[in-house]
Structure 1
Amino acid sequence: MSKAQETVLEINLGALSHNFNYLKSKLNPNTKFLAVVKAFAYGSDAIRIAEHLEELGVDYFAVAYVKEGVLLRENGIKTPILVLHPQPVNFKSLIDHCLEPSLYNAKVLKEFIDVAEKQNQKNYPVHIKFNTGLNRLGFWESDVDYISSQLNATNSVKVKSVFSHLAASEDINEKSFTENQINTFQSISKHIEKSLGFKPWLHICNTSGVLNYPEAHFDMVRCGIGLYGFGNSGEEDKKLKPISSLKSIISQIHKIEKDETVGYNRGYKASGFEKTATIPIGHADGISRIYGNGNGFVIINNQKAPIVGNVCMDMLMVNVTNIECKEGDEVIVFDSNNKASDLAESAHTISYEILTAISNRVKRLYIK
């Protein structure tokens, strides 16, 4: 692996294969695997990730919005795609690109049926989302009879799956809450199966659900963060491989005297003679200002260099007073050894946030 000569996000497709195979090994052979590739595949590259997962035999993809699914279709992805949060204004485009909607309240259910009928669709696959405790999107169990009455009155759509979302499957302290969600979902599933007269697929497990609640794998599981190398626990993180490495270089080194300041708003004041390094990556690239003023760090020559002052739009500065380094040296923001989760924790946030924030202006390199 060559040293970085500019800011670059390396994407290791071999690590992606490892994570997919590890998570799939947890499943019954008949349980389908849905890969979540929303938000540019968690800040990497949705197209390349989806292409690779298709080669590995993934059963389904999920995106958040219709335009994400359209992008995949326009780049040759053939696998079924579930759109988790579609808006009615995009329903025609959704149908035109053979995407499958999550229908989560009476408004979207009715409007999608109307559009499907106008498009002369028959048995168009839809997925019914139920709220079992996350309280974000989804019908309630008390809505089952209404849903069934709407669906049984048309042949334009047909339920492919019924699903819900676990709120705290990674937290062992919330085990009873999660088990209650699973039990509620099973009750809903029996009710809607009886009302519809057939059995749709069932799915509720995310990555942590796959790892912690094997009894709830049902017909399909939905894996997002696990595919990208994070298992939401120290033990599982060791079994997964982060697929992304964010690297940059030192553009310039400054020697500053006591009480001199660094960056906008004089955000950092030197306590004595110090050296700082300026790095060409900033909040426009996905390194938020929350990482400034000592909250975050980078790795230079295997040593932590704390971020000083406020992160700029295109640059950040770090303290390298006690680090042997020179202009042009490689800088690791995160990689498989210095994980994004460690950097995120330094600013009291989570790996999801820093991964999905990486800007598209950062060059991508692919490693097999």
Structure 2
Amino acid sequence: MSKSGSLDSFRLLAAFLVIANHTSPLLSYGEDADFILTRIIARIAVPFFLMVSGYFLYQYIENGDNAYILAFCKKIGLLYALSIVLFLPLNLYAGHYEGTNWGLEFVKDLFVDGTFYHLWYFPGLIAGVSIVVFLIRAIGLKWTSIISVLLYGIGLFGDSYYGVAEQFPSFEVFFQAVFTVADYTRNGVFMVPIFLVMGMLIYKRNKTVSFSINLLFFVISFTFLIGEGLLLHANDIQRHDSMYFMLLPVMYFLFQCLLQIRGKSSKSIRNVSTIMYIIHPWMIVLVRFTAEFFTLEKWFVENSMVLFLTVSSLTFILSWMLMIFWPTRKNSTPSPISRAWAEIDLAALNENVKLLKGILPKNTELMAVVKANAYGHGAVKIAKELSNHGVKSFAVATIAEGIELRKNGVKGEILVLGYTPAQYIGEIKKFKLTQTVIGLSHAKQLNKQGVPIKVQIKIDTGMHRLGTDASHLSDLKEIYNCKHLHVVGVFSHLAVSDSVRSEDIAFTELQIDKFNQTTKWLESQLLLPGQRHIQASYGILNYPHLPYEYARPGIALYGVLSKNDTVRTDVELKPVLSIKARVAVVKTLQRGEQLGYGRAFSATTMMKTAVITIGYSDGIPRNMENGEILIRSQKAPIIGRICMDQLVVDVSAIEGVQAGDIATLIGKDGTEQITAEEVSEKCGSITNELLSRLGSRLDYVYHSN
């Protein structure tokens, strides 16, 4: 059975109910019968559409998938914009915006009531989703449910219970104020949130009561709904008739029943029902106009059932034709969150920049290290974001990394920290990069090319890797004498600045002293050191007082250190990156059955497993087999061997896991969190290696909240 049951099939019935609501098919046979059909029964259509949206949106809200939620709202906004264009001629023909206050009326219609009577659904859905997402993030689903019920209760007294509200002057004054902004309380504030939340609660609860019990309660609540509607109608209490008290239990039990009826997921039916909802008023106009032109009103207009059937048939046929023949742009790339992806929190990145700058001397600027694809965070996007927040200098490891930044519009200084062969000096010049000189021999090779470039000199103060030895002062002077090399800075690297052991502190201070002595000697020789920098991430956190022109934060920019490292500054850096993937399938593993390559895991009892769409080719260490991931805010242990494209977890203790759920390998899910530090420690590695090895197959989703 599809996890959505027969929801898609019912969409089509709901679309026909909307048409019935606007054509009154039983009016020719009796007003009471038509009232029951169009003003009571047909009122389940829009709440159903809203509950479907809430049901499928919740997992993205719960997991903080802002990109998906934004894309959903953009899609609804686009449908609304197309609908406005489609129905604008009808509005103009009807003279709807010809009054003195037509501008205010248009604004109210545009943002609240809808620019045609059925289009309120689109701005209402966008507003409702925005409200619900905000409340869930702020106070959780439980309190959001309570607030949504209260809003719906208020809305009832501006709709079907308005006659009661009129008996109380203060209530009437309140609703009159509401009606200056919206013509109805059937809108995105009062009506939409509760049905979105109901869909979310059903998704989250994911517990199945028997179909017969759900059906029984549906029939009982549906009977009471009809009684409620008729009673309100008989006493002339209604101002409008979209919102009923009993509509809540009716929709809850109806939705549960539909989930339990076998059905097939159908994008075609979803598209057709949406098109039918949008275009059916034009079909009503077309049928009425044609009947009048051929003097057939008696058959096609005065007979309300024929009108309904004709409009429904034309709407259905045209909707199918539009879906089949309308040219659609093929999207050649999948959604960024289709399989496995990295989520990058740009707000956390910028907060880390502020924190690091705050502990450095006032005149010390940051040279952001964005090598190795910005430690797996996306070098181009990270560099541009940092540039927008005042960081104007960047460091990369290779000339190729520097060229990539330039080709993507990154400005400011870009220092290539690693070795570049002299034959590539043309590219250094062309892309305005600053090259590190790693020794006198390298300087001579570069200078021999006769191409003027900017360079910085790496000074070896004890790391004994790249750089000119700090004691070889004559070599330094000779580098300065290379006429085609314009020295704009000197720098070094600290070997044990991440340690607070006394012997390591002494060694670091010795390195700093060597660097200071070297730069002072250069100044004594009238050789300008230019930009001086020696602190990388741990150098900043443990030796923030050093008065150099630049500091080079790398891993600390991204809110990550190593789990057991101790630093001497009190800075709460925020992790910037999360790694997420999807559940592909959930299976049952019987006792004694073995799983995966090498049959490495044997089930000691019957268990439930989930296959996750990420593996070692995406950068997940193969030796992370004793690790955990998060699903539905709970930890699930990895079992068996991690494969190239998948891994398997034990979800026996997690209720309701299903295909499409989001798994978090690094990051937060609800109150639970798995950090990069924890993962790297379990793998016997460090965070730098873990993040910089993230695979190129990962998509990236960036958000700023």
**TM over 0.5, shorter chain:** yes
Partner of 1:341 in structure 2? 677
Which protein is richer in strand relative to its size? Answer: 1
Q: 1:13 to 1:351 in 2, by over 3 A?
A: same
Structure 2 residue matching 1:332: 3-state secondary structure:
strand
**Quick one: percent identity of the two aligned structures?**
36
Query: Following the alignment from structure 2 to structure 1, what is the Cα–Cα distance between the partners of residues 375 and 493?
Result: 18
Partner of 2:496 in structure 1? 168
- Name structure 2 gaps, 5 residues minimum: 1-63, 69-336
Structure 1 residue matching 2:552: 3-state secondary structure:
strand
Instruction: Report the number of matched residues.
Output: 360
Structure 2 residue matching 1:360: 3-state secondary structure:
coil
1:49 corresponds to which of 382, 398, 423 = 382
Q: Does 1:127 align with 2:456?
A: yes
Q: 1:269 to 1:365 in 2, by over 3 A?
A: same
> Any idea what the Cα deviations from partners look like across 1:225-276, whole Å, max 9, x if unmatched?
1111124547779711111111112111222223322211222222232222
Q: How do residues 141-156 of structure 1 correspond to structure 2 at under 5 angstroms? A: 141-152=470-481, 154-156=482-484
Q: 1:85 to 1:15 in 2, by over 3 A?
A: same
Q: Does 1:188 align with 2:521?
A: no
CA contact (8 A) 1:256 1:274 kept: yes
> Any idea what the Cα deviations from partners look like across 1:148-171, whole Å, max 9, x if unmatched?
12422x332222111111112121
> Any idea what the Cα deviations from partners look like across 1:31-57, whole Å, max 9, x if unmatched?
121000001111011111111111111
2:629 corresponds to which of 293, 298, 301 = 298
Partner of 1:79 in structure 2? 412
CA contact (8 A) 2:498 2:542 kept: yes
RMSD in angstroms over aligned alpha carbons? 1.9
Give, as a single letter, the amino acid of the residue that structure 1 aligns with 2:676.
Answer: A
Query: Following the alignment from structure 1 to structure 2, what is the Cα–Cα distance between the partners of residues 48 and 300?
Result: 28
Q: How do residues 59-74 of structure 1 correspond to structure 2 at under 5 angstroms? A: 59-74=392-407
Give, as a single letter, the amino acid of the residue that structure 1 aligns with 2:697.
Answer: R
Q: How do residues 190-205 of structure 1 correspond to structure 2 at under 5 angstroms? A: 190-205=520-535
Query: Following the alignment from structure 1 to structure 2, what is the Cα–Cα distance between the partners of residues 197 and 322?
Result: 68
Quick check: 166-175 or 183-192, which moved more? 183-192
CA contact (8 A) 2:560 2:676 kept: no
Q: How far 1:196 moved relative to its partner?
A: 4.9
1:98 corresponds to which of 417, 432, 455 = 432
Q: How far 1:347 moved relative to its partner?
A: 1.5
Query: Following the alignment from structure 2 to structure 1, what is the Cα–Cα distance between the partners of residues 341 and 407?
Result: 26
Quick check: 300-309 or 11-20, which moved more? 300-309
Quick check: 319-328 or 306-315, which moved more? 319-328
CA contact (8 A) 2:499 2:566 kept: no
Q: 1:199 to 1:107 in 2, by over 3 A?
A: closer
Q: TM-score under structure 1 normalisation?
A: 0.92
Query: Following the alignment from structure 2 to structure 1, what is the Cα–Cα distance between the partners of residues 355 and 645?
Result: 37
Q: How far 1:147 moved relative to its partner?
A: 2.6
Query: Following the alignment from structure 2 to structure 1, what is the Cα–Cα distance between the partners of residues 429 and 352?
Result: 32
CA contact (8 A) 2:380 2:405 kept: yes
2:552 corresponds to which of 222, 241, 250 = 222
Q: Which has the larger radius of gyration?
A: 2
Query: Following the alignment from structure 1 to structure 2, what is the Cα–Cα distance between the partners of residues 217 and 357?
Result: 34
Partner of 1:332 in structure 2? 664
Structure 2 residue matching 1:77: 3-state secondary structure:
coil
Q: RCO higher in 1 or 2 (8 Å CA, sep ≥ 6)?
A: 1
Partner of 2:539 in structure 1? 209
Q: Does 1:308 align with 2:644?
A: no
Query: Following the alignment from structure 2 to structure 1, what is the Cα–Cα distance between the partners of residues 364 and 571?
Result: 24
Give, as a single letter, the amino acid of the residue that structure 1 aligns with 2:681.
Answer: E
Partner of 1:24 in structure 2? 357
CA contact (8 A) 2:355 2:571 kept: no
1:323 corresponds to which of 643, 654, 678 = 654
Q: Does 1:107 align with 2:453?
A: no
CA contact (8 A) 2:361 2:546 kept: no
Q: 1:247 to 1:217 in 2, by over 3 A?
A: farther
CA contact (8 A) 1:229 1:237 kept: no
Structure 2 residue matching 1:364: 3-state secondary structure:
strand
> Any idea what the Cα deviations from partners look like across 1:6-28, whole Å, max 9, x if unmatched?
32211111111101111111122
1:280 corresponds to which of 613, 616, 620 = 613
Q: How far 1:351 moved relative to its partner?
A: 1.5
Give, as a single letter, the amino acid of the residue that structure 1 aligns with 2:473.
Answer: V
Q: How far 1:360 moved relative to its partner?
A: 2.1
Q: 1:217 to 1:358 in 2, by over 3 A?
A: farther
Structure 2 residue matching 1:250: 3-state secondary structure:
strand
Give, as a single letter, the amino acid of the residue that structure 2 aligns with 1:191.
Answer: W
CA contact (8 A) 2:588 2:607 kept: yes
Q: How far 1:328 moved relative to its partner?
A: 2.2
Which protein is richer in helix relative to its size? Answer: 2
CA contact (8 A) 2:455 2:487 kept: yes
Q: How far 1:90 moved relative to its partner?
A: 2.5
Give, as a single letter, the amino acid of the residue that structure 1 aligns with 2:346.
Answer: L
Query: Following the alignment from structure 1 to structure 2, what is the Cα–Cα distance between the partners of residues 140 and 38?
Result: 25
Query: Following the alignment from structure 1 to structure 2, what is the Cα–Cα distance between the partners of residues 273 and 327?
Result: 20
Structure 2 residue matching 1:327: 3-state secondary structure:
coil
Q: TM-score under structure 2 normalisation?
A: 0.49
Partner of 1:264 in structure 2? 597
Q: 1:101 to 1:316 in 2, by over 3 A?
A: same
Partner of 1:362 in structure 2? 698
Q: 1:363 to 1:342 in 2, by over 3 A?
A: same
- Name structure 1 gaps, 5 residues minimum: none
> Any idea what the Cα deviations from partners look like across 1:165-212, whole Å, max 9, x if unmatched?
111212111211211111121122223333453342211001111121
Q: Does 1:139 align with 2:475?
A: no
